[in-house]
Amino acid sequence: MIRALAASGLLLACALAFSACHATPVAQSPAPPVSTQLPVPTPCAEDAGWSDPTTPRHVFGNTWFVGTCSIGAFLVTSPQGHVLIDAATAEAAPHIAANIRASGFKVEDIKTILVTHEHNDHVGGVSELQRLSGAKVLARSAAADALKAGIADRRDPQFDIAERFPVVANVHTQVDGEAVVLGPLRIDHLPNTGHTAGGSGWAWTSCEGETCLRIVYPDSVTAISDKTYRYVDHPAHVAAFLETLARIKAERCDILLTTHVQASNLLARLDGKQALVDTDACKAYADRGLQVLEKRLMDEKNGVAP
């Protein structure tokens, strides 16, 4: 079904080539010295909500998990200022700010806020974190429109069931594929259309001493929608979704981070209960997304309701 729609070998080859050209790692400076002792990790329920708090975790090098029991939010630090990626819900914003401080950093030192996609569970807290930090916010065109309006439009497959979120100030449009650079810090942008129209993935290289690892934070890759949207009616979106999956699969990927922590057992990995480094993780993540998309398209073709 996928291949009949858009996933020709040429399409996948182009997406793979794009990723290969944009995946060159750039070593980053290590995190600034932090004297603060991180709190003991708090357990999270298996059915934890989007806003349920948990303690911050150190990921690797200059990267810190500052999110909730369910939602990913990450601080990438540099001597010239920091980058926050995602901010969970509005209810979680004070907790994320507290996690940043508990990790030994100042919210006011955040210079840029990046997002993955334009849904309340990932961007609801951006407005408050932007207010506290004064940072500029970067998002792809469709996501930037949503941040300025407080909700996505009909380009979003989940539009009918989407929740409003606080309107965000100082939003700038991210150019597809253009890296975000802050001093020695370089974060590569991965256009990730699929789960939403304005989805973004982000990738960077973090170092501890002479050991440098490529960290990849792709967008969600689940093909879900409201009862109105049918993927088979939007072949351009499907084609872009396929490019996204190919791009993620082709990324050099030592550490996979995910928008929903359960999607990669992230907290267990950060707590040392499972392996944090897995060079096949991005490939497996993309393959799971492809399986869901293929099933969704087949169900729609056969008239099976989502």
At 9 the pLDDT is 37
* Main-chain dihedrals φ then ψ at residue 112, nearest 5 degrees: -140, 140
Residues paired with residue 187 on neighbouring β-strands, in sequence order: 180
What whole-number distance in Å separates Cα of residue 174 and Cα of residue 83?
A: 14
What digits encode the pLDDT tens for the residues 14-72? Answer: 344 434 444 444 444 444 445 568 999 999 998 999 999 999 999 999 999 999 999 99
The bridge status of strand 74-76 relative to strand 171-173 is unpaired
153 and 146 Cβ atoms separated by less than 8 Å: yes
What whole-number distance in Å separates Cα of residue 168 and Cα of residue 181?
A: 22
Residues paired with residue 299 on neighbouring β-strands, in sequence order: none
The one-digit pLDDT tens for each residue of the chain (306 residues) are 444 444 333 333 434 443 444 444 444 444 444 556 899 999 999 899 999 999 999 999 999 999 999 999 999 999 999 999 999 999 999 999 999 999 999 999 999 999 999 999 999 999 999 999 999 999 999 999 999 999 999 999 999 999 999 999 999 999 999 999 999 999 999 999 999 999 999 999 999 999 999 999 999 999 999 999 999 999 999 999 999 999 999 999 999 999 999 999 999 999 999 999 999 999 999 999 999 999 999 999 999 877
Rounded (10°) angle between helices 9-22 and 235-250: 50
What whole-number distance in Å separates Cα of residue 152 and Cα of residue 111?
A: 25
At 36 the pLDDT is 64
Lookup: tokens for 304: 């099976």
What whole-number distance in Å separates Cα of residue 241 and Cα of residue 293?
A: 9
- pTM value is 0.89
At 4 the pLDDT is 44
Distances (CA, A) of 211 to 22, 33, 74, 207, 272: 21, 17, 20, 5, 18
Domains of the chain, with CATH numbers? 57-302 (3.60.15.10)
The bridge status of strand 63-65 relative to strand 57-60 is antiparallel
- DSSP string of the chain? -HHHHT--HHHHHHHHHHHHHH------PPPPP--PPPPPPPP--TT--TT-----EEEETTEEE---SSB--EEE--TT-EEEE--B-TTTHHHHHHHHHHTT--GGGEEEEE-S-SSHHHHTTHHHHHHHH--EEEE-HHHHHHHHHTS--TTSTTGGGPPP----SSEEEPPTTPPEEETTEEEEEEE--SSSTT-EEEEEEEEETTEEEEEEEPPP------SS--GGG-HHHHHHHHHHHHHHHHS--SEE--SBGGGGTHHHHHTTSS-S--TTHHHHHHHHHHHHHHHHHHHHHTT---
